[in-house]
Amino acid sequence: MISEEQIEAFNARPRANLNDIKKMTPAAADKVKSWGSNAEALLANRDLALFVHQFKFEISDALINITGHSPDDNAKRVALANQLSGIDGFISLLKRAVYMKNRVVSHQTGSADPDANT
């Protein structure tokens, strides 16, 4: 069951896009920077990387072990491909959060290059 804390965290997540950066309040900008810093810490976490890659290897092994071409085998392939896509989507979410943080920081410092703050 989803706890109240999880619901609050989901509802409090930053809802920013690149068009909103110039119009953000300082509190909203701080929230995006905090969100991006947390994402950056996750991306730099070696244990997380190890588990993500282990997960991908296990899915790859499961794909290799499917040798048939029956509808059930094809459904298994699709399900495993969706799992790979999901983990890639999660990593993309983290990268997008870091990018948004860098854009906010570069806007606040007046830098033209958002990657200058990485």
User: So where are the chain's domains?
Assistant: 29-117
Is the pLDDT score of 118 beyond 60? no
Each residue's pLDDT tens digit, 5-25: 888 888 877 777 778 788 888
Q: Is the pTM of this model over 0.85?
A: no
pLDDT at position 108 is 86
Biggest CA-to-CA distance, the chain: 58
Residue 101: Cβ within 10 Å count:
25
pLDDT at position 103 is 93
Reported confidence tier of residue 54, pLDDT bands at 50, 70, 90: very high
Is the pLDDT score of 1 beyond 80? no
pLDDT at position 27 is 86
Distances (CA, A) of 105 to 31, 39, 83: 12, 15, 33
pLDDT: which is higher, 31 or 14: 31
d(CA 34, CA 36) in angstroms, rounded, equals: 5
Each residue's pLDDT tens digit, 96-117: 999 999 999 998 888 655 555 5
